[in-house]
Chains A and B, each alone.
Chain A
Amino acid sequence: MKNSSTNYVAGQWAYRLLGVGRWLFLFALWGVASVALAQERTISGKVTSAKSSEVLPGVNVIVKGTTLGTVTDIDGNYRLNVPESAEVLQFSFIGYQAIDVVIGGQSTIDVAMNDDVKQLSEVVVTAIGIEREQRELGYAVSTVDGEELTKVRSDNALNGLAGRVPGVRVTNQSGTAGGSVQVQIRGANSLAGTSQPLFVVDGVPISNNAFNGTRNDIIGGGADVGNRAGDLNPDDIENISVLKGASAVALYGQRARDGVIIITTKRGEQGQASIEVNSSLRFDRPFRLPDLQNEYAQGDFGVFDSNNFTNGWGPRISEVQGQNFPQFPYNGEDRPLQAFPDNVSDFYETGTTLINSVSFGTANEMLDFRLGYTNLNQKGIIPGNELNRNTVSINTGAQLTDKVKARASINYVRTEGIGRPRQGSNDPNLVVSQVNGLPRTLDTELLRNNVIDENGGAIGVNGNNTSNNPFWVVQNNPLNNRVERMYGNVQLDYDPTDWLNIMGRIGTDFFDETRRSIIRKGTLNRLNGEFDDRTIFQRQVNSDVIATVTKDVTSKIGFRGLVGWNVNQIINERTRVRASDLSADNLYVYPNANATTPENFSNIRRLYGVYTDIQFDYDNFFFVNFTARNDWSSTLPEENNSFFYPGVSTSFIFTDALGISNNILSYGKLRASWANVGSDENPYQLAFTYTPEPDLFTQFVADNTYPHGGQLAFAATNTIPPGNSLLPQNQSTFEIGTELQLFDGRVGIDFTYYNTLTSDQIISVAIPQSTGFEAVRTNIGEVRNRGIEALLSVTPVQTANFNWDMIFNFTRNRQSVEQLAPGLDELALTSGFSGLSVRAEPGEDFGLYGAGWLRNDAGELIINETTGERQVGDRQRFGSIFPDYLLGIQNSFSYKGINLSFLIDMRQGGVLWSNTVQTLRSDGLAQETLANRGQIFIDQGVIENEDGSFRPNDVPVRSMQDFWGTYSGASIIESNIFDATYVKLREVVLSYSLPQSLIGNSFFKKIAIGIEGRNLWLIDSAVPHIDPETNFFGTSLIGEGVEFNSVPSSRSIGFNVQLGF
């Protein structure tokens, strides 16, 4: 890294700390003042576990009915100043039953707390924000505590789910700062789009929009612009509930088909007013860069060539010492060749991420309030790539009367992405492929220092000035976006009697995003300069009114029933202006462009639904639950726009029913459920329409635009619409599972089997273009996903001071396409590169398809007799794009206040195709291309005789450049398909909470420091050169298993300080 930028980073950091420090100081004064007001008498004591007699640190001790309280220190001791009027002390701690102790005249109160059956009576948030005890649920719900998300801080809260939740797969889409993260729950269900879950914050759905233009926009130099779930601030999250199956999500209706991520934000807590400060500094380096050869220079067939140089097929550097060659920056001074082994790595910077959050919270019986502010500043590993995010959140509730409660939460997020690198192909701004393709003899320092010539023009990296210097691109051609977003809701609860609750809640989520992609005048291959502006606006309004009745039928039979009414509306508005052929340099206003093409788009979708959820329980060990919902959607034909879907689930705590309670089995539950979910179509898909054309496609260059010669043009739709025959899609899920607690709670098992069938899918089926159309939109196709999810938690060691916990998290999903349209053998889900495609085929899961090598019936490679090279054969399937299973293993060790945990994440199976590897090999840059250079090489395989028989190949290849050119050429897919299995050390956290005895009477309530590491070690992978965990398609396109010049992911190490006041 250059000195100046180091200083800049350090300066920025200091500046931000100063800024935060001012706030800290103010809040600190406030905290001290409130402590000083409350001094009257002192009570102290020790809290232990009734069962094991171990001391319990961290127990909450409060004067009941007040906000006054403390927590026990590392030795289980507490000391609290209470007013004379204080009567009762309340002790509470997660996993233990709360105890109230009358103070009387005591000044020392020691308490032994009894175990609560941890987790099992834990309250979880389920659909529509309904809180249920875990034991009641007939389906699997996983919960992740907000604390898990902030231990190892990431710019994206969703990263915290990786490896922690069975049935959930979290994939980073690129190494771009603020890049998108895909979450997939129980496999991909859809043939028509991505299977992304619904995100719900405090009971109201929010957008996870990932709009990134058309498929062509994305594959031709699109950047990873992130997805809107990335706006969630980990510091504001109390917990995340993951609802997986149809039973769990039925009340949300169609939008929840692919699961629901329910986020509950933090609230002010009872007790003293508190301030929490959390600061993290993290450093990033590329996780994995290609293994390159360092022996050969650029050129062709051993001859040096400075013009056409994106390859390493030139002379051996050691063999041409003493000779001089024209080299970058082509100033006429020829130089000897010298390898720069680190020139690729030298391009990347050390990324930094600084996250500072401060929150203020308080609560009493009438009111709770929390205000949080978080600032995130991330500098990516690509020079110029930056992410800034500011989040303000307010969450407050009030008991207005004894029957009426009100609650409101509001979140404001401003996300700014700067210099997002382009990926894919056919774009002069592809930095990553450019850097990978640098000659091995090019010093990155020279590249950095020679961006423009004395006339201000770009200096190309090659002799004939046709390839851009990557530093020119990152300095001049940024792709920036900025999102201003607000989401929140208000809720009123009214309890006219003790058995009836009426709740009304209305929420909204809206954001305004602007994007600008700039190509400066003078950029090679786009000499005239252009820029492309987009604005994206989305607003969602959602309201529910729910009446809930809770009443015991008999002393043994309980009843809870609700009816609800939901209305939802989403509008989208987008504009785009492309401006090309710029006159003045560096001026990005429309009048400076010789051609501008404006476009605009809007849509609206509306839906309302009624739903009910009825539950009976018998003696708190048997629960049965019925759900039903009917939706009416604006996007379906009027005659088919209503759809109904029921569900039933049951939970049976057999240990309670049978009176089992011993050291071996303390808790056992069986659950089963079945449910249906219907879903609708996108807006405006029913009628035959004509589009006013903004432009028309031209290969190689920017599209030609209308008006042409002063005339406009229209074109009819290319998809035959379904008219009024379209039906809603349907998904049904059956699942069974069990939850067990064994050996005094030291072993926990949670196991689920599920089977989901998504049918009547609404998809566009390709038809011959000679019909004049390319697709017909219809209900067709079934996809089944079935699998198991298992969570095993074990505590191998548990002593007074030392704990070792392990969690094994296993996910296996088997997808199979059950049927497509009659007569349709396969359906291309996405395609585009050299015949590579992701396809659905009945009986298989989604797979990668492309050209394989020509083989005979015995499976031997058929070699071309003239060239000695392999030959391209027919299209074939290379395997599933999905893993066979995922396994996460988390170990955590705690010794007094020190906690060490690490997470190993493993993916088994599936395939990946890499364009980066393909290019490095055909260009002669990959390490493996050194083999056999300058020697005679005969490939394995056979040659076909005239009579059709085969003889072993005896024809040497003409050169290794020819061999690799064919082996790793553009028309063959097979040679760069890899097993996508990997084992990664995903996270390591070492944290230390200072004991109360050390903090003592300082105004800190909590001091914790930590070191965190993420994406640290690729323990095992069959994919060379790149991180096997990338997906070029991003979250807005169906398909994965393809890498295409993706920005490398990063390895990060960070430091974290948490302060509580």
Chain B
Amino acid sequence: MITMNLLHKTKYILLASVLWLASSCESDFLDVNQDPNRATSAEPPLLFTGALNQYSTNRVIDFGPTGATASQLWSGGGNLGAGVFTRPERYIISIFSNGNTWRTHYREVQKNLTLAIQGAESSDPVNNNAAAQCKIFRALTFLSSSLIWEDVPFTEAVDIDFETLELRSPDPAFDPQEQVLNGVIGLLDEALAQIDPESPLAITNNDLIFGGDMDNWRKFAKSLKLRTLMIMVDADPSKAGDIAALIQEGDMISSAADNAEFPFFSESGNRNPFWETLNAFAGAQNFFYFASEAMVNVMKKYNDPRLGMYFQPYPGGDVDPNGEVVGAPPGGNIPADEAWVLSTAPVGQDGTFELVRPNSPDVLFSYQEQLYLEAEAIARGLAPGGVAEADARFRAATQAAMAYRGLSAEATDAFLATIPPLTDANAVEVISEMTWIDQIVRPLEGWTTWRRTEMPALELPEGAQTTGLFQRFQFAPDEAAANDNSPVDKPLDEKMWFNR
């Protein structure tokens, strides 16, 4: 009996398992390939936050120290510092810093903003302001790419049919810098024309720069146009007219409140990675970013009151904090008991102006930069007004710059009183050197200001791999390897189109 039962049961078990197998043959059994971890669409604002953060984070910590030490805004500190910061000073550029920057510009920013624009323009109603915000940021990024690598993909970048997933340009061509920069201006004009002040639609909360204020975006876009034209004007003097017209028209960044800044926050995980690096490695003491001889010398030349604010003694040494600030020679060593570093701790009057803070924003465009550009344009006769007007804007710019670092108005006035009125002979030199000093923690702008004007005069670093000064990055290895249209690399010291 028992065995018979078992036999019967076995049959049923076998039958049941066959049935289970058979049922699993239904087509929906295999219909489980929808990804539960990712979305099939994303709203433009969500793509916008990511693109902006990627861009600024890269600027601050990946491109940042490399660009700053290679252009002598800072020093890597030789033996005292870390190799990752000293090598770029001798023009040995890490393939990671280089590749990460390229990847950020194209894979993170250009692609995601292209998709966001597509989403904004195909939504109902069309979100023109969102598209304009994305285009302005795309223009800023293309400008940055070209200032780092010169000729870069523009017209054929991110050229894909998102319906069929076919790449229309599988090997994007590298457009000449002139074409890229004209393209940047074109993209800015397109965005300016698309801004719809009447529409309530825009990227708002996810716009961490202006919170969706389209007046600010308009001013920022115009200021970016001015910056781009000023970069182009040496190589293409026909841009002078556009510069004059823009300055005439105004409506650009016109106060510190208009500054375009991507914010970082004091909360862990959202901090400025430039500060976080010091925090993680050395308890927020600065062992890595040193005062450069070039910067210190220029500041001493003007007796710049920011000298004691920008720098503090190297924490691993035994330097008199009231002693004379000494910068490390480019590419060389400095003894621990003489070295100064970028300031991380409040030492000045009100403790708000140290260069490296957990919540230091990434400054994309500042009011003082606007004024310095206007002063320079006027001083060079690119816009009307003459040297007296240039001097006035130069002083306004310097006041804005000093105020930005927390220096009192009295101290600023006292400093400006020591600077004689600008003359035709020295205006450009003084303006560009003061711009350069202001841009100490804005490496791409600082490097570009120096490349445009070649002031201050810099010396070739010890151990440099070239005979000339640093002008460009070589193409990112991954792009060069994969793109059949990638041009042959030019020497690191060969000037770009814009300042040839």
A768 x B172 contact (CB < 8 A)? yes
Chain B residues near A773 (CB-CB < 8 A) = 107, 111, 160, 167
A723 x B165 contact (CB < 8 A)? yes
B14 x A709 contact (CB < 8 A)? no
A710 to B146, CA, bound (A): 32
Chain A residues near B112 (CB-CB < 8 A) = 715-716
Q: Which of B17, B50, B271 contacts A543 (CB 8 A)?
A: B17
B53 x A770 contact (CB < 8 A)? no
Binds A, one of B67-75, B93-101, B337-345: B93-101
A300 x B20 contact (CB < 8 A)? no
The answer to whether the Cβ of B152 comes within 8 Å of any Cβ in the partner chain is yes
Name the residue on B nearest A571 (C-beta): B32
Indicate whether A466 sits within 8 Å of B159 (C-beta atoms), given known contacts A708-B270, A710-B205: no
The answer to whether the Cβ of B418 comes within 8 Å of any Cβ in the partner chain is no
Chain B residues near A492 (CB-CB < 8 A) = 10, 13-14
A634 to B26, CA, bound (A): 12
Chain A residues near B3 (CB-CB < 8 A) = 400-401
Q: How far is the CB of B456 from chain A (nearest CB, A)?
A: 28
A404 x B6 contact (CB < 8 A)? yes
A525 x B14 contact (CB < 8 A)? no
Chain A residues near B41 (CB-CB < 8 A) = 690
A774 x B103 contact (CB < 8 A)? yes
B160 x A689 contact (CB < 8 A)? no
Q: Which of B474-497 contact A (CB under 8 A)?
A: 476-479, 481-484, 486
Q: How far is the CB of B206 from chain A (nearest CB, A)?
A: 5
Q: How far is the CB of A17 from chain B (nearest CB, A)?
A: 44
The answer to whether the Cβ of A476 comes within 8 Å of any Cβ in the partner chain is no
- Most chain-B CB neighbours within 10 Å: which of A594, A690, A695, A823? A690
The answer to whether the Cβ of A692 comes within 8 Å of any Cβ in the partner chain is yes
Chain B residues near A683 (CB-CB < 8 A) = 32-33, 35
A700 to B63, CA, bound (A): 12
Indicate whether A711 sits within 8 Å of B205 (C-beta atoms), given known contacts A696-B53, A769-B106: yes
Q: How large is the interface on A (under 10, 10 to 19, 20 to 34, 35 or more residues)?
A: 35 or more
The answer to whether the Cβ of B256 comes within 8 Å of any Cβ in the partner chain is no
Indicate whether A308 sits within 8 Å of B268 (C-beta atoms), given known contacts A400-B10, A691-B38, A770-B157: no
The answer to whether the Cβ of B303 comes within 8 Å of any Cβ in the partner chain is no
The answer to whether the Cβ of A766 comes within 8 Å of any Cβ in the partner chain is yes
Q: Which of B6-23 contact A (CB under 8 A)?
A: 6-7, 10-11, 13-14, 17-18, 20-21
The answer to whether the Cβ of A701 comes within 8 Å of any Cβ in the partner chain is yes
Q: Which of B49-81 contact A (CB under 8 A)?
A: 49-50, 53-54, 57, 61-62, 79-80
Q: Which of A608, A688, A771 contacts B172 (CB 8 A)?
A: A771
Name the residue on B nearest A401 (C-beta): B3
Q: Which of B160, B208, B486 contacts A772 (CB 8 A)?
A: B160
Q: Which of B150-176 contact A (CB under 8 A)?
A: 152-153, 156-160, 162, 164-165, 167, 169-172
B479 x A769 contact (CB < 8 A)? yes
A684 to B280, CA, bound (A): 37
A770 x B37 contact (CB < 8 A)? no
Q: How far is the CB of A431 from chain B (nearest CB, A)?
A: 18
The answer to whether the Cβ of A49 comes within 8 Å of any Cβ in the partner chain is no
Indicate whether A689 sits within 8 Å of B79 (C-beta atoms), given known contacts A698-B276, A708-B53: no
Per-position binary interface string of chain A over residues 660-692, scored 1 when its CB falls under 8 Å from any chain B CB and 0 otherwise: 000000000000000000000001101111111
Indicate whether A772 sits within 8 Å of B111 (C-beta atoms), given known contacts A567-B21, A604-B32, A766-B482: yes
Name the residue on A nearest B271 (C-beta): A704
Indicate whether A720 sits within 8 Å of B42 (C-beta atoms), given known contacts A684-B37, A715-B108, A768-B172: no
The answer to whether the Cβ of B323 comes within 8 Å of any Cβ in the partner chain is no
Name the residue on B nearest A717 (C-beta): B38
The answer to whether the Cβ of B139 comes within 8 Å of any Cβ in the partner chain is no
Q: Which of A528, A776, A828, A834 contacts B279 (CB 8 A)?
A: A528
Chain A residues near B21 (CB-CB < 8 A) = 543, 545, 565, 567, 608
A543 to B22, CA, bound (A): 12
B61 x A606 contact (CB < 8 A)? no
The answer to whether the Cβ of A464 comes within 8 Å of any Cβ in the partner chain is yes
Q: Which of B31, B271, B482 contacts A767 (CB 8 A)?
A: B482
Chain B residues near A689 (CB-CB < 8 A) = 35, 38-40
A713 x B158 contact (CB < 8 A)? no
B38 x A543 contact (CB < 8 A)? no
B13 x A770 contact (CB < 8 A)? no
The answer to whether the Cβ of B310 comes within 8 Å of any Cβ in the partner chain is no
Chain B residues near A18 (CB-CB < 8 A) = none
A634 x B32 contact (CB < 8 A)? yes
A716 to B263, CA, bound (A): 23
Per-position binary interface string of chain B over residues 199-233, scored 1 when its CB falls under 8 Å from any chain A CB and 0 otherwise: 00000011010000000000000000000000000
Name the residue on A nearest B336 (C-beta): A307
The answer to whether the Cβ of A699 comes within 8 Å of any Cβ in the partner chain is yes
Name the residue on B nearest A765 (C-beta): B482
Chain B residues near A590 (CB-CB < 8 A) = none
Per-position binary interface string of chain B over residues 237-250, scored 1 when its CB falls under 8 Å from any chain A CB and 0 otherwise: 00000000000000
Q: Which of A567, A641, A709, A768 contacts B482 (CB 8 A)?
A: A768
Q: Which of B18, B167, B273 contacts A704 (CB 8 A)?
A: B273
Indicate whether A769 sits within 8 Å of B103 (C-beta atoms), given known contacts A308-B79, A689-B40: yes
The answer to whether the Cβ of A795 comes within 8 Å of any Cβ in the partner chain is no
A712 to B43, CA, bound (A): 11
The answer to whether the Cβ of B198 comes within 8 Å of any Cβ in the partner chain is no
Name the residue on A nearest B478 (C-beta): A769
Chain A residues near B111 (CB-CB < 8 A) = 716, 772-773
The answer to whether the Cβ of A697 comes within 8 Å of any Cβ in the partner chain is yes
Q: Which of A300-322 contact B (CB under 8 A)?
A: 300, 307-308
A581 to B65, CA, bound (A): 24
A602 x B36 contact (CB < 8 A)? yes
A696 x B50 contact (CB < 8 A)? yes
Binds A, one of B281-289, B365-373, B423-431, B435-443: B281-289
A679 to B483, CA, bound (A): 31
Q: How far is the CB of B53 from chain A (nearest CB, A)?
A: 5
- Most chain-B CB neighbours within 10 Å: which of A464, A701, A823? A701
The answer to whether the Cβ of B30 comes within 8 Å of any Cβ in the partner chain is yes
- Most chain-A CB neighbours within 10 Å: which of B49, B100, B172, B481? B49
A890 to B499, CA, bound (A): 73
The answer to whether the Cβ of B419 comes within 8 Å of any Cβ in the partner chain is no
Chain A residues near B348 (CB-CB < 8 A) = none
Q: Which of B33, B206, B316, B484 contacts A635 (CB 8 A)?
A: B33
Indicate whether A709 sits within 8 Å of B265 (C-beta atoms), given known contacts A525-B281, A606-B32, A696-B54: yes
B49 x A712 contact (CB < 8 A)? yes
Chain A residues near B37 (CB-CB < 8 A) = 600-603, 684, 691
The answer to whether the Cβ of B177 comes within 8 Å of any Cβ in the partner chain is no
Chain A residues near B265 (CB-CB < 8 A) = 708-709
Q: How far is the CB of B276 from chain A (nearest CB, A)?
A: 5
B208 x A709 contact (CB < 8 A)? yes
A704 x B270 contact (CB < 8 A)? yes
The answer to whether the Cβ of B277 comes within 8 Å of any Cβ in the partner chain is yes
The answer to whether the Cβ of A1021 comes within 8 Å of any Cβ in the partner chain is no
The answer to whether the Cβ of A527 comes within 8 Å of any Cβ in the partner chain is yes
The answer to whether the Cβ of B84 comes within 8 Å of any Cβ in the partner chain is yes
Per-position binary interface string of chain A over residues 56-71, scored 1 when its CB falls under 8 Å from any chain B CB and 0 otherwise: 0000000000000000
6 closest residue pairs by CB, A with B: A772-B111, A713-B50, A595-B269, A768-B483, A595-B268, A705-B269
29 residue pairs bridging A and B, Cβ less than 8 Å apart: A307-B316, A308-B80, A404-B7, A492-B14, A494-B14, A504-B13, A506-B17, A528-B280, A543-B20, A595-B267, A595-B269, A597-B269, A602-B36, A602-B37, A686-B33, A687-B40, A696-B50, A699-B100, A700-B277, A701-B281, A714-B46, A716-B47, A716-B111, A767-B167, A768-B171, A769-B102, A769-B478, A772-B107, A772-B158
Chain B residues in contact with chain A, CB under 8 A?
A: 3, 6-7, 10-11, 13-14, 17-18, 20-21, 24-25, 29-43, 46-47, 49-50, 53-54, 57, 61-62, 79-80, 84, 92, 95-97, 100, 102-103, 106-108, 110-112, 114-115, 152-153, 156-160, 162, 164-165, 167, 169-172, 205-206, 208, 263, 265, 267-271, 273, 276-277, 279-283, 287, 316, 336, 476-479, 481-484, 486
